Amino acid sequence: MVERGQASAEMLLALPAMLLTVLACVQLLLVGQAQWQADNAASAGVVAAAAGRDAGAAARVALPAGRRHSARILVGRDRIRVGLDVLSPLALVGARLKVEASAGLSGAVEAAGAVRVAPAAPPGPDDGRRGGA
């Protein structure tokens, strides 16, 4: 037989675990958002550099207004790097989380350790094959 109030006590014990799970999910979403913003800003900087404009300014403008002052933007000869601090519902965790994205004029964009390469140009008339098909 279940005693009166046992369900309330169990719920009280489960509440911290549920809250921690929700906070972890929110934190993962915020990491993804920061990575996307950094990647987008780095790409905007490369496009600007290719057009002969200021890559650093273009990258900064591509960021949301609230992120522009704290962004770390480094413009190199052939690469631009954008670093952002990750927002966090927990100050202790947020102070330690940072993301970085870089993009190069070669067409490759690196983010979070992955490399996405622009599609290759279609083969020309002499694509290296000899003879017939």
Give 72-103 pLDDT, tens digit per residue. 999 988 899 999 988 888 777 767 889 999 99
Among residues 100, 97, 103, 99, the alpha carbon closest in space to that of 58 is found at: 103
Establish if 126 belongs to a structural domain.
Answer: no
Q: Which residues contact 64 (CB under 8 A, 6 or more apart)?
A: 37
Q: What tens digit of pLDDT does each residue of 61-70 get?
A: 999 998 999 8
The reply to whether 127 falls in a domain is no
In a domain, 25, yes or no: yes
User: What range does the domain containing 49 cover?
Assistant: 9-116
Could you give the CA distance from residue 11 to residue 18 in angstroms, rounded to a whole number? 10
Residue 3 forms part of a structural domain: no
Total of domains in the chain: 1
Beta strands in the chain (DSSP E): 72-75, 79-85, 98-104, 109-111, 114-116
